[in-house]
Amino acid sequence: RRREWMSGPWVLIFGFAFIILIGTVLLKLPWSAAPGKTITWSEALFTSTSATTVTGLVVRNTAQDFSFFGQLVILFLLQVGGVGFISFSVLLFRLIGRRITLQTRFIVQQSLGTSRVSGALDLALYVLGVTLSLEAVGALLLYLRWRSHLPEGEALWYAIFHAISSYCNAGFDLFSGTEAGVLFGFGTDWFTLLVMGVLILLGGFGITVMYDLWSYRFDRTLGLNTRLTLILALVLTVTGTAIVMIDPNLHRNLFPDLSWGKRFAVGLFTVVSARTAGLTILPLDQLSEGSQLIIMLWMFIGGAPASMAGGVSTSTVAVLLVAVLATARGHSAAVSFQRTLPNETIAKAVAIMTVSTLLVTVVTLILSLRHEGDIFTVGFEVVSAFANAGYSLDFTSKLDAVGRYLIAFTMFWGRLGPLTIVVALAQSEQPTLIRYPEEPVILG
Amino acid sequence: RRREWMSGPWVLIFGFAFIILIGTVLLKLPWSAAPGKTITWSEALFTSTSATTVTGLVVRNTAQDFSFFGQLVILFLLQVGGVGFISFSVLLFRLIGRRITLQTRFIVQQSLGTSRVSGALDLALYVLGVTLSLEAVGALLLYLRWRSHLPEGEALWYAIFHAISSYCNAGFDLFSGTEAGVLFGFGTDWFTLLVMGVLILLGGFGITVMYDLWSYRFDRTLGLNTRLTLILALVLTVTGTAIVMIDPNLHRNLFPDLSWGKRFAVGLFTVVSARTAGLTILPLDQLSEGSQLIIMLWMFIGGAPASMAGGVSTSTVAVLLVAVLATARGHSAAVSFQRTLPNETIAKAVAIMTVSTLLVTVVTLILSLRHEGDIFTVGFEVVSAFANAGYSLDFTSKLDAVGRYLIAFTMFWGRLGPLTIVVALAQSEQPTLIRYPEEPVILG
Ligand SMILES: [K+]
Ligand SMILES: [K+]
């Protein structure tokens, strides 16, 4: 049994690294670049990492610096990265956890439907099927909306690209830096924003929550995991939108001529996209720092685990909040929806939060020592990379080569999950069998 | 038994509020202001809160805007606030914790010396005795050093004021804004910095650690609490000093003419003072943002619990790190120095860290929405207030009245301890006797 999970993290690490390397080579091919452009190795590696980890931070413009082939490679990488990661994490590591108990195994089977899922390949095909179906519906809806204002072929290609990018929470787009305007002129179109927002939310829920929601029709129950994910998604979306909506910069400088309804649609989409799609429809650097701080925190929190979303995950935050409330009330058990959270779950949430905070802090510190620039902007970019969010205050474009490798590493670490690398490094330790007496420590 | 701890937090809250109100009235007296100056009510309240919570953030210059009487009031407030808090927190709330177990009661008795400490008054007198003795020694040493360059009377008064301010980690000083220079010209004097640094460290260790160190001569053992406190103090001091020492701004702009030895002394003192004395001997706003970030994090961590220091406390950080390491290694028990940390201790550490982070974030967000200014500077100031540190990037002077009340509230909350107000508010809840089944949650 010990060998079983020992190999888990390393398989994940090497598997991901392998996909990124293939992507780097493909993107470095001469015909991946747009005519007259050249992609350097460090740019190819950065782009491949950003696509495979569904982050969306870019050092080269996707629409203008890459050829159609290059864009296809990027689309392929984010699809494989997204689907492959979910399948793998559900099956091997994340969901099942370090110690495979009968209980968690039961949950996996229950939430994915035992009869259909029996092995790794079956699971990957199942996840891929759900993914492709949802993306196809999204692409069709976007195509029908966009064909009126765009040439047929372009409308179809853009619809497919942005549906996949939305569902995979990837944040790559084909309009930034071009003259086509935000979303090809549909940047304030409620239908376009609704379709893409729903795709982002579903991708951020992950396969287990979607299955639980789907099967609610039959069993009329939602798991604790699903409840916490939905509640946190709701709370974060509502409070985040409220704070962005009171930002005077949004009304005064950005959209003075827009109706309140459209401002609301843009604000709502921006907050939904923050966790962790990163599809940018307004210039974030022109928002006030208060809004930027909220967006940064929401990126850090991210979406559900084992989904397209990154971040420490809504579940981690929910578990911590439930545990803290129990401590404050003097209860010995952390109870939520009449279910007790196991100590092991709480310990894992603490570990994820601590390791993530440390990683983001250390990387921010190193980058701010190496580069000129406001430390808040640096931190924003690092959180965006860690959470595979892809929102940017334009710091990424100023990175030197070492900075690019560091941000690429942060994206990689973030996508593997905050604990994967730590666990992989710590696992060689022999478990202790000695029991030591308890001694409490005085706390602040 | 339930009544016993129920009253704890409220007694602490009202006791502190009462001292702050008395201080406010005293500082508002006409003869507390320097000739020709007037102190407003909001300035008096802010100064009284800052002194009683041993923070050291100021909206009026201590040396120039207050009379000798006003400075005496400030000195009295920080002495009472420091000593009173330690006594109270050791006795009633912090140390003993929410649930009074025989084990923790034993630790309290052991660490303070059972025979000498039997009641609240005895304890307060004991703490006061240790405090006054150490301060007297410090004041004497500073006086002997300073009398050569200062008039006798001034040297004595300055020595007393700064010895008390150092030991209480208060951060108030009588040279800022005057023409006397940093520490009256002793800003780079190793003897002065050594005396004050040791006073700061001892004050930040707290009475239990000092007692444990003192009794090491007899029993040859150090408690887990003492070991973790010392190790973290060492690690934070060394790494912090190293990072500040590589800051190019320190060498290029601030001290181009200073010897490396003196630069090291100033850098070391700045880092020691960051947790959480706040005695400022170099212009912090001229350091690079990397150094500022480290100082901000060190403030947030602070010193030992039940000491003059604030912050989430080194113990909380140590407990979290030990717990995280155990989780990463797959161990079920968090073991440190052959002692197991109780789940209750870990839960409390998580609660402290979470509540503190939330408080700092929310206050920063509100202030940044109300005031102009870089959000990092705002966050630095809020952390400084929360941790009762008193370092400032000059944002405090720009606060409007509401901002002052908010920062004063943050100092108050921070000094009471991150959990005190939460516990006071949550305690009316009836403890649940129902046991719910466990259900794990998928984490990121
Ligand atoms: K993304
Ligand atoms: K202080």
pLDDT (tens place) for every residue of chain A, 444 residues total: 344 444 566 777 888 898 999 999 999 999 888 888 889 998 999 999 999 988 988 888 888 899 999 999 999 998 888 877 776 665 554 444 444 444 444 545 554 544 444 455 666 677 788 888 999 999 999 999 888 888 888 889 999 999 999 998 888 888 877 777 777 777 778 888 899 999 988 888 877 777 777 777 777 777 777 888 889 889 999 999 988 888 888 877 777 777 888 888 888 888 888 887 888 888 888 888 888 999 999 999 988 877 788 888 888 898 888 888 887 777 777 777 767 787 778 888 888 898 899 999 999 988 888 777 788 999 999 999 999 988 888 888 888 888 889 999 999 998 887 777 777 666 555 555 666 666 666 665
What pLDDT score does B89 carry? Answer: 61
- Do A443 and B305 count as a contact with CB atoms less than 8 A apart? yes
Express each pLDDT in B380-403 by its tens digit: 999 999 999 888 888 888 888 888
- Do B436 and A293 count as a contact with CB atoms less than 8 A apart? no
pLDDT at B140 over 90: yes
- Do A444 and B312 count as a contact with CB atoms less than 8 A apart? yes
Tell me, rounded to whole angstroms, the distance of Cα A351 from its chain centroid: 19
Greater model confidence, B115 or A163: A163
- Do A335 and B246 count as a contact with CB atoms less than 8 A apart? no
Nearest Cβ partner for A312 among B328, B342, B444: B444
- Do B369 and A290 count as a contact with CB atoms less than 8 A apart? yes
Which contacts of A372-381 are long-range, i.e. CB under 8 A and separated by 24 or more positions? Answer: A372/A398, A373/A398, A374/B289, A374/B374, A374/B376, A375/B289, A375/B290, A375/B292, A375/B293, A375/B376, A376/A289, A376/A292, A376/A293, A376/B374, A376/B375, A376/B376, A379/A296, A380/A292, A380/A295, A380/A296, A381/A57, A381/A407
Express each pLDDT in B233-272 by its tens digit: 899 999 999 888 888 888 777 777 778 888 888 888 888 8
Nearest Cβ partner for B436 among A321, A338, A437: A338
Q: Are B429 and B67 in contact (CB under 8 A)?
A: no
**Which residue is closest to A427 within chain B, CA to CA?**
B329
The ligand that comes nearest to the alpha carbon of residue B391 is: 2
Mutate to test the interface with B, among A343, A382, A441 (most CBs of B within 10 A): A441
In a domain, A436, yes or no: no
CA distance B379 to B363: 8
What pLDDT score does B301 carry? Answer: 92
CA distance B116 to B418: 30
What φ, ψ does residue B337 adopt, rounded to 5°? Answer: 50, 45
pLDDT at B436 over 70: no
- Averaged pLDDT, B164-193: 83
DSSP B107: H
3-state secondary structure chain A: CHHHHHHHHHHHHHHHHHHHHHHHHHHHCHHHECCCCCCCHHHHHHHHHHHHCCCCCCCCCHHHHECHHHHHHHHHHHHHHHHHHHHHHHHCCCCCCCCCCHHHHHHHHHHHCCCCCCCHHHHHHHHHHHHHHHHHHHHHHHHHHHCCCCCHHHHHHHHHHHHHHHHCCCCCCCCCCCCCCHHHHCCCCHHHHHHHHHHHHHHHHHHHHHHHHHCHHHHCCCCHHHHHHHHHHHHHHHHHHHHHHCCHHHHHHHCCCCCHHHHHHHHHHHHHHHCCCCCCCCCHHHCCHHHHHHHHHHHHHCCCCCCCCCCCCHHHHHHHHHHHHHHHHCCCCCEECCEECCHHHHHHHHHHHHHHHHHHHHHHHHHHHHCCCCHHHHHHHHHHHHCCCCCCCCCHHHCCHHHHHHHHHHHHHHHHCCCHHHHHHHCCCCCCCCCCCECCCCCC
Task: Write the single-letter amino acid at B217.
Answer: R
What pLDDT score does B379 carry? Answer: 92
Reported ipTM:
0.81
CA distance A292 to A289: 5
Return the number of other C-beta atoms located less than 10 Å from residue A394's C-beta: 12
The ligand that comes nearest to the alpha carbon of residue B385 is: 2
**Which residue is closest to B351 within chain A, CA to CA?**
A324
**3-state class of B366 per DSSP?**
helix
Distance A205 CA to ligand 2 centre (A): 45
Chain A residues whose CB is inside 8 A of the B310 CB are: 444
Nearest Cβ partner for A329 among B330, B349, B426: B426
- Do A440 and B347 count as a contact with CB atoms less than 8 A apart? no
Distance B317 CA to ligand 2 centre (A): 19
What pLDDT score does B296 carry? Answer: 92
- Sign of the CA dihedral running A243, A237, A233, A163: negative
**A129–chain B nearest CA distance, Å:** 22
Greater model confidence, B325 or B111: B325
- Sign of the CA dihedral running B317, B318, B323, B325: positive
Distance B413 CA to ligand 2 centre (A): 14
Chain A residues whose CB is inside 8 A of the B340 CB are: 435-439
Q: Are B440 and A103 in contact (CB under 8 A)?
A: yes
CA distance A214 to A160: 25
**A382–chain B nearest CA distance, Å:** 14
Chain A residues whose CB is inside 8 A of the B285 CB are: none
- Do A351 and B330 count as a contact with CB atoms less than 8 A apart? no
Is the link from the previous residue into A276 a cis peptide, with omega within 30 of 0? yes
Nearest Cβ partner for A349 among B97, B312, B443: B443
- Do A441 and B326 count as a contact with CB atoms less than 8 A apart? no
The ligand that comes nearest to the alpha carbon of residue B53 is: 2
**B32–chain A nearest CA distance, Å:** 34
Distance B309 CA to ligand 2 centre (A): 7
Distance A296 CA to ligand 1 centre (A): 13
- Do A288 and B438 count as a contact with CB atoms less than 8 A apart? no
- Do A439 and B340 count as a contact with CB atoms less than 8 A apart? yes
A317 CB contacts (<8 Å, ≥6 apart)? A232, A301
What pLDDT score does A297 carry? Answer: 92
CA distances from B116 to A79, A117, B109, B113, B221 (A): 70, 69, 9, 6, 20
CA distances from A191 to A166, B33, B175, B278 (A): 14, 65, 64, 55
For residue B343 the two structure tokens come to 């789940």
**A133–chain B nearest CA distance, Å:** 25
CA distance A133 to A163: 11
Express each pLDDT in A92-150 by its tens digit: 544 444 444 444 445 455 545 444 444 556 666 777 888 889 999 999 999 998 888 88
Chain B residues whose CB is inside 8 A of the A338 CB are: 436
Q: How many domains does chain B have?
A: 1
pLDDT band at B431 (very low <50, low <70, confident <90, very high): low
Nearest Cβ partner for B354 among A305, A320, A443: A320
- Do B352 and A444 count as a contact with CB atoms less than 8 A apart? yes
- Averaged pLDDT, B163-185: 83
In a domain, B87, yes or no: yes
Nearest Cβ partner for B354 among A99, A324, A427: A324
Residues measured by CB to lie within 5 Å of ligand 2, the ion: B 56, 169, 171, 278, 390
CA distance A412 to A50: 8
CA distance A143 to A164: 13
In a domain, A362, yes or no: yes
Nearest to B273 by CA among B391, B137, B145: B391
- Sign of the CA dihedral running B274, B280, B281, B283: positive
- Do A331 and B432 count as a contact with CB atoms less than 8 A apart? yes
- Do A350 and B364 count as a contact with CB atoms less than 8 A apart? no
What pLDDT score does A260 carry? Answer: 82
**B41–chain A nearest CA distance, Å:** 30
**3-state class of B33 per DSSP?**
strand
Chain A residues whose CB is inside 8 A of the B318 CB are: 441
Distance A294 CA to ligand 1 centre (A): 17
The ligand that comes nearest to the alpha carbon of residue B414 is: 2
Distance A385 CA to ligand 1 centre (A): 9
Nearest to B98 by CA among B270, B285, B352: B352
Q: Are B228 and B336 in contact (CB under 8 A)?
A: yes
For residue B280 the two structure tokens come to 């400022």
CA distance A6 to B329: 11
B341 CB contacts (<8 Å, ≥6 apart)? A438, A439, A440, A441, B319, B322, B323, B333, B334, B335
What pLDDT score does B99 carry? Answer: 41
Greater model confidence, B193 or B440: B193
The highest-confidence range among A39-53, A267-281, B75-89, B329-343, by mean pLDDT, is: A39-53
CA distance A310 to A55: 8
The ligand that comes nearest to the alpha carbon of residue A81 is: 1
Chain A residues whose CB is inside 8 A of the B105 CB are: none
Return the number of other C-beta atoms located less than 10 Å from residue B98's C-beta: 18
Spell out a b/e string for A395-407, using b for 16 or more CB atoms within 10 Å of the CB, else e.
Answer: bbeebeeebbebb
For residue A105 the two structure tokens come to 């195994």
In a domain, A391, yes or no: yes
Chain B residues whose CB is inside 8 A of the A301 CB are: none
Chain B residues whose CB is inside 8 A of the A345 CB are: 440-441, 443
> What is the domain extent for residue B174?
2-425
What pLDDT score does A94 carry? Answer: 43
For residue B12 the two structure tokens come to 């602490």
